Structure 1
Amino acid sequence: MQLYPIESGNFKLDGGAMFGVVPKSLWQKTNPADANNMIDLAARCLLLEEGNRLILIDTGMGTKQSSKFYGYYHLWGNHTLDRSLKKHGFHRDDITDVFLTHLHFDHCGGSIQWNHDKTGYESAFKNAHFWSNEDHWQWATQPNNREKASFLKENILPMQECGQLKFTSIPTGDILKNSELGFDLFFANGHTDKQMIPLIKYKDKTIAFMADLLPTAGHLPLPYVMGYDTRPLLTLDEKEKFLNIAASHNYYLFLEHDAHHEIITVTKTEKGVRLEDTFTSQDIFQ
């Protein structure tokens, strides 16, 4: 197996929204804000190459929304999904599977693009299956008012309409062992219903793709929960359980949204699970 970080673009969000009830005087120590209270974020995806399968985990925001839409998110830097794939010798047509941790626009928007004459939408990965799970699909296609702005139908429905959608199994507990993609999945329901956290065996390591269970290294303290989460008290419990497992088994946590830290390890302390070390993907994947 080979792993490659895929940088699909950088953006900014309001720091208060990203840290919920935690005061700015605390969260700005790890995630400093600009004059408009916005903090730097990434949309870092992960590419797995194993045998004849090329699996892309999440796809970023994509490029089909309006300039007004992107203006809300203050895009910065020059990363693009296509440029990042090319850097590692791949093209989007090479992708066999697109695994989506959940269907919020910043995780799945790059899955669908305009057709040639912009009269409709089409798959951005014509040779791939799109993977979600049935419970989350229903949650996203019949959205609650709190999440409606994050579940955009143009990002989601075309996956099914183009005939490329598949569902993973759903475990009776927290973890689905050896999913249809070949890696374990930790299911978390605090941020959104049935978010899936891939646990990938790589050489002698476990790489956990953290998605929105742990957006940045600054979110390690348990109360540091995003204002976007639908069930913040459940997120507290899920974070505590997962981070204790990660510390005990020395997981390498691949951070999708941390613009300045790619991979971290954690350790148990008197104050709870805290940061142990930081790594670049080159440190771990070479």
Structure 2
Amino acid sequence: MKLYPIEAGNFKLDGGAMFGVVPKMLWQKTNPADSNNMIDIAARCLLIEDGNKLILVDTGMGNKQSDKFFGYYYQWGDDSIDKSLAKYGFNRDDITDVFMTHLHFDHCGGSVQWNKDKTILEPAFKNAHFWSNQDHWNWATKPNRREVASFLKENILPMEESGQLKFTSLPDSHFLENSELGFDIFFANGHTDKQMIPIIKYKGNTVCFMADLLPTAGHIPLPFVMGYDTRPLLTLNEKELFLNIAADNNYYLFLEHDAHNQIITVKHTEKGVRLNQVFNCEDIL
């Protein structure tokens, strides 16, 4: 098995929204804001090469939305999925599976694209299966009023219409061991219903793709929960459970949204679980 970081493009989000009830004087120590109160956000995806499978975890925002839409997110840098894939000798047609941690637009938007004539929306990975789970799919396709702006039909329905959609099994508890794709999955419900966190055994270590369970290193303290989360008290408990396991077992936490910290480990302290070490992807993957 080989793992590769895939940079899908950077953007900015409101710092207050990213840290909920936590005062700015606290969160700006780890996530400094610009003059518009916006903080740097990455869309760092993960490519898993395992035998004859090439699995892409999440796909970023994509590029099919309007200029007005992207104007809200202050995109910066020149990273893209295509450039990142090419760096490792791959292209979109090589992808066999796209695993979506959840269906918010900044995680799955790149899964669907316009055709050449901009008349039809189609899967952006024509040879891939697209993986979600039945409970989250139902949640996303019949969205609540809180999340309706994050679940965009144009990002979601073409995957089903193409016949390329598949669902993972659902566990009785938080953990699904040895899923259909060959890695364990932690299911979290605080951010959105049945978000999936891949847990990958790799070179004698464990690498966890943290998605929105832990967006940045600045979110490690338990009360530091995003304002976007639908059930923040549940997120707090899920973070506590997962971070304690991560500290006990020295898991490597791959951060999807942290523009400046790529992979981290955590440790137990008198104040609870806190940041231990920070690594670049090339140090671990």
Question: What is residue 194 of structure 1 aligned with on the other side?
Answer: 194
Question: What is residue 115 of structure 1 aligned with on the other side?
Answer: 115
Distance in 1, Cα, partners of 2:29 & 2:161: 45
Give the letter for the 1:107 counterpart.
H
Question: What is residue 150 of structure 2 aligned with on the other side?
Answer: 150
Question: What is residue 55 of structure 2 aligned with on the other side?
Answer: 55
Question: What is residue 94 of structure 2 aligned with on the other side?
Answer: 94
SS of aligned partner of 1:113: strand
Query: CA shift at 1:119, angstroms?
Result: 1.2
SS of aligned partner of 2:85: helix
Equivalent runs, 1:5-20 vs 2, <5 Å = 5-20=5-20
Question: What is residue 42 of structure 2 aligned with on the other side?
Answer: 42
Distance in 2, Cα, partners of 1:128 & 1:119: 22
Distance in 2, Cα, partners of 1:144 & 1:173: 24
Question: What is residue 263 of structure 2 aligned with on the other side?
Answer: 263
Alignment pair present for 1:3 and 2:3: yes
Give the letter for the 1:49 counterpart.
E
Distance in 2, Cα, partners of 1:144 & 1:206: 35
User: Deviations for 1:226-256, whole angstroms, at most 9, x for unmatched residues?
Assistant: 0000000000000000000000011000000
User: Deviations for 1:118-147, whole angstroms, at most 9, x for unmatched residues?
Assistant: 112001000000000000000000000000
Distance in 2, Cα, partners of 1:225 & 1:88: 35
User: Deviations for 1:155-189, whole angstroms, at most 9, x for unmatched residues?
Assistant: 00000000000000000011000000000000000
Distance in 1, Cα, partners of 2:81 & 2:70: 16
Question: What is residue 251 of structure 2 aligned with on the other side?
Answer: 251
Equivalent runs, 1:87-236 vs 2, <5 Å = 87-236=87-236
Give the letter for the 1:228 counterpart.
Y
Give the letter for the 2:171 counterpart.
P
Distance in 2, Cα, partners of 1:265 & 1:204: 15
SS of aligned partner of 2:10: strand
Unaligned runs of at least 5 residues, structure 2: none
Distance in 2, Cα, partners of 1:149 & 1:88: 34
With the length of structure 1 as denominator, give the TM-score of the two structures. 0.99
Give the letter for the 2:239 counterpart.
K
Query: CA shift at 1:48, angstroms?
Result: 0.3
Give the letter for the 2:206 counterpart.
T
Give the letter for the 1:15 counterpart.
G
* Equivalent residues, number: 285
Question: What is residue 274 of structure 1 aligned with on the other side?
Answer: 274
Distance in 1, Cα, partners of 2:220 & 2:88: 31
Distance in 2, Cα, partners of 1:119 & 1:50: 35
- Percent identity, aligned pairs only, is 78
SS of aligned partner of 1:157: helix
Query: CA shift at 1:203, angstroms?
Result: 1.2
Distance in 2, Cα, partners of 1:26 & 1:112: 38
SS of aligned partner of 1:9: coil
Give the letter for the 1:80 counterpart.
S
Distance in 2, Cα, partners of 1:103 & 1:115: 21
Distance in 2, Cα, partners of 1:131 & 1:63: 21
SS of aligned partner of 2:282: helix
Question: What is residue 64 of structure 2 aligned with on the other side?
Answer: 64
User: Deviations for 1:60-96, whole angstroms, at most 9, x for unmatched residues?
Assistant: 0000000110000000001011001001110010000
Give the letter for the 1:14 counterpart.
D
User: Deviations for 1:22-60, whole angstroms, at most 9, x for unmatched residues?
Assistant: 000000000000000000000000000011100000000
Query: CA shift at 1:115, angstroms?
Result: 1.3
Give the letter for the 1:25 counterpart.
M
Distance in 2, Cα, partners of 1:45 & 1:110: 11
With the length of structure 2 as denominator, give the TM-score of the two structures. 1.00
SS of aligned partner of 2:46: strand
